[in-house]
Structure 1
Amino acid sequence: MPALERILVATDFSPLGNAAVRRAALLAARDGAKLLLVHALPRFATLQSAFGEHTQVDLQMRSAAEAIAGELLAEVDAMGVGQVSFEVGEGRTHRVVADAAESFLPDLVVIGAHGKGLLQQFFLGGSAARILSQSRCPVLVVREEARADYTQLIAAVDLGPRSAIVIDTARTVGGAAPLAAVHAYTAPFEAAMRYKHFPEQDILRYVSDEADAAKESMDALVAPYGGAVDGRVVYGDPNPALPEAVRELGAGLIAVGKHGGTRVEEAIMGSVPRFLAYYAPCDVLVC
């Protein structure tokens, strides 16, 4: 598995923002990766309009940010990260992170999963499109305090062309932890067949055929990994089925691919990645 080389983590210094820093530090220490911490401050013009032309709030905020960052950097250094740096930018968080990503070229961007801070800005509208398309790298949404390496991974796959990428990215970020590739399927015309009163045995046969086809595709997907990936096919809508798989397996990380034809469409993401980013009971890797 390829190692991570450059990790960018954004924090607003909230508890989950700093949990993202610790997760990023664990990954950087494991792989010997460079780590960049990024924090966004309001633009000086915004502070002037709020506090007056001669305000020194911007200097006070920058000084406070650098002091808090210093404590984080000391903690990160103690975790064994060899190369770590810190940047403060001005403006909206998504723009500051995008600018940092354009110059740092990370393999992975890490954010905390909380409402006020980065999650809303990453996963709503144009912010997500710009960040995820311009950085061209996976985004790890941290929901749990990082105390150790992941012990169980899930790759949520749709059995399409990007499924192997989702598995490979999950292995890169998750390391040596066991990995289950999970596909949640529904029979597309089952509801219509029931509405039109098809015989029950015909409906069951159709659903069974869909399950057999999904299992065959899953076997072909995981075969190249030589038993290192456990393929699972579950019946049901992905939104409830995938979080249930997380709980059943005790997974600390679920990886899911973006969907769409263009880069912008992929950045906006499909309904399943968006749902997991908000509601999965574990960290989420969008790749």
Structure 2
Amino acid sequence: MVRAGDVEAEILAAADHSDVLVLGAHGLNPTRDLLLGTTAERMLRKSRRPMIVVRKEPRAAYQRVFVAVDFSMHSMAALAFAVRIAPSAHLHVFHAFECPYESKLRRADIAEEILRQLQSRCRDQAFANVRNMIEKSEAPVERVSSVVVSGNPRHVTHAAAAEWGADLIVLGKHGHSAIGEFFLGGVTRHTLSRAESDVAVIPHYPRL
């Protein structure tokens, strides 16, 4: 298909009749990218379809798919997409957590033992939520692993994916309001800008 007109607008219009939008990682207009964010980020704000940003030349089907979850409906959609887009891949479900008020408690010089107990409870709850998500998905248990880590998701997600050797990172897309669409979530934007692997960003109800 060849169309004349604004590149981004024409791609998005065509994508409305497709199941998945695939885009190269390099911007179509580097100068504009510096001012308004990358082409991929701008299209992600507007696209209602799952979008895969490709960074490496494909040599085979995806084999190691890293799914970052936060237990939202968007995360469930991301996990379901991963199961369908890579039916023979190993899926690694990842969650990073921060205990509520932990930083304030540390500043208040709360005993370290109490903080460890808080961390343990947060971790146990996160593991339970991850297991529940996996059980609700259609992922074959023998092809799924999971991990829960303490830390800011924005800062640890792409590093964890690289350490695991992911060839695809899958994230849920948050936000349907004008503000939510204009400002990509911190984890999504951080991962898009730093990941070495392909990245898929999935809306709440992907059509696939």
Q: Deviations over 1:76-134 (max 9, x none)?
A: xxxxxxxxxx213222x2112122224xx11100001114458712314xx5433x1xx
**Mapped contact 1:258–1:266 kept (Cα < 8 A):** no
CA contact (8 A) 1:153 1:170 kept: yes
Letter in 2 for 1:253: L
- Residue 201 of structure 2 corresponds to residue 286 of structure 1: yes
> What does residue 38 of structure 2 align with?
120
Q: Is the Cα–Cα contact under 8 Å of residues 27 and 40 in structure 2 kept in the other structure?
A: no
Structure number with greater Rg is 1
Identity, % of aligned positions? 29
CA deviation map 1:42-78 (0-9, x unaligned)? xxxxxxxxxxxxxxxxxxxxxxxxxxxxxxxxxxxxx
Q: Which residue of 2 aligns with 1:54?
A: none
Residue 220 of structure 1, CA deviation: 1.0
Q: 1:193 to 1:237 in 2, by over 3 A?
A: same
Q: More helix by proportion, 1 or 2? A: 1
2:57 partner SS: coil
Counterpart for residue 70 of structure 2? 158
User: Normalising by structure 2, what TM-score?
Assistant: 0.84
> Aligned-pair RMSD on alpha carbons?
2.1
Residue 145 of structure 1: CA displacement?
A: 1.2
Q: CA deviation at 1:263?
A: 7.3
- Which runs of 5 or more structure 1 residues have no equivalent in the other structure? 1-85
Higher relative contact order by CA 8 Å / sep ≥ 6: 1 or 2?
2
Q: Which runs of 5+ in 2 are unaligned?
A: 203-208
- Give yes or no for contact 2:168–2:197 (8 Å, CA) kept in 1: yes
Once the two structures are superposed, what CA deviation does each residue of 1:240-269 show, in whole Å capped at 9, x if it has no partner? 321222122211000001112537625743
Q: How does 1:1-287 map to 2 (within 5 A)?
A: 86-91=1-6, 93-102=7-16, 105-117=17-29, 120-124=38-42, 127-130=43-46, 132=47, 136-224=48-136, 225-227=139-141, 228-262=143-177, 265-266=180-181, 268-287=183-202
Aligned length: 193
Runs of 4+ residues over 3 Å off in structure 1: 115-119, 261-264
Matched position secondary structure for 2:110 = coil
Aligned residues of 1:186 and 1:235 also touching (Cα < 8 A): yes
